[in-house]
Chains A and B, each alone.
Chain A
Amino acid sequence: MRISTLTIYNQHTSSMNKQQADVMKVGQQIASGKRVTTISDDPQAMTQAVALSQSQAVTQQFVDARIGVRNSLGQEESVLNSVTEIYSRAKTLMVQAANGTLGDADRASVGSELKSLYESLVGLANSGDGNGRYLFGGYQDDTAPFIRQPDGSVSFNGSTEIREQRVDADRLMPTGHTGDEIFRQVHSSAGYLVDASPANAGTMTFGAAEILDPSDPQFGQAFDLSFGGTAAAPTYSVNGGAAVAYTAPQDIAVGGLRVRLEGQPAAGDTLRIAPADQGNTDIFKTFERAIAALDTPAITASDKANLRNSIHVVMNELDNGLENVLTVRAEVGARFNELDTLDAISSNRMIGYKQAMSDLVDLNYVEAASEYSMRMVGLQAAQQSFAKVKDLSLFNYLR
């Protein structure tokens, strides 16, 4: 075939152009460290890379969410630690107060210490997160959850719903506990409590409720005892039932329970035997009752019986409260463990994603470097071939 001079030159320039473009391409890959520099290099890889980067972003969102939850739980845990100490100290004080040899003045001094514990407890219940948000207000975290009433008591004003945060694809974790859960509930396993009205006029005191028969059909119900009759022949009735003669000491057996009563009740006195969650579950009320009881001088036998009953009730309620706080702390600990597990899983996942991403779009430098030298050789060959051919002209020999 005839080859025109134009073809020769065109072919050489286009071959040099092509080689140069190849060198540029590899050079660009090396400079950017990416195998895929534009989408069209590998549309499939780029599409997968977009999906992967979304997985990475979502995983990172969960990591961030866990940091937030961990922070809230950490603050809660440290507050609950102090709460536990207060409960224990209050229990110790109540044991002291229960000592019958203590005089009114001694009891009053115990009462004043209890009062300062109560104040600390209110402060702890209204703890903030350091950013003006209350830890135990639930959703309503911009106002103090526990509010002091004009009569000096404390009432709960927060929300009973707690914020949740998505810490993993299928896990919404509560970021803490509400004040209601911590300070105003008892654990579901808390048993029966016996409580005599502080207004009782008699000298009746009670012992612990013993469980005889949990299969009794009435087991789990509350029983209100009211006393009547005369001082010489007292009677009692259960839940407004028929009056039964009372002789101290008297074992009351109801609903599979047995409670031993001692002393003489006055007509109109009442006693309540109820599961803990049907009685008072508010720990602040417990403290208020204890303080009131310790502040009241015990002069008559009736006063003393009431004091003894109150201390008895308060100690039981403190036990239940402590149990409840410990349960909440255990829950916090379990969440920490769960967060640790999720962190470990997600960091493994992240490594996997990074590896996959790198496999998709990153450059193998060894390959690229060898490719680069190969392309350079190609370009040089094209240039040299042009340089040789340009000298090949018949005109060079015609002189």
Chain B
Amino acid sequence: MSLPDPSEAPPSVQAALERLRERFMAGLPQRWRDIQEARDAAAQAAVLHQLAGVAGSFGLHALGQAAREGERAAVAGDAAALAQALERLRSCLMAAGVTLA
């Protein structure tokens, strides 16, 4: 099977990807709430892990990196590093235009 060159994706494909990105962005406030309301460090790490794994696929690389750093801090039990990572994450969300409660 001959696959298309990604750089030559037709506008319809780029438009479809943009629609998916908007759907993903619409779900980010809920992900932020899930991080805030996680019952323990393991649950918080799991939510951050998921976010770290997906944000970059929508072009939100800094957000994904902040989530990854938060996951590592949560797993390590490093409260100070976790607080810093979550602050970076909050900044990335706001920079992306996400409205947080």
A and B bind: no
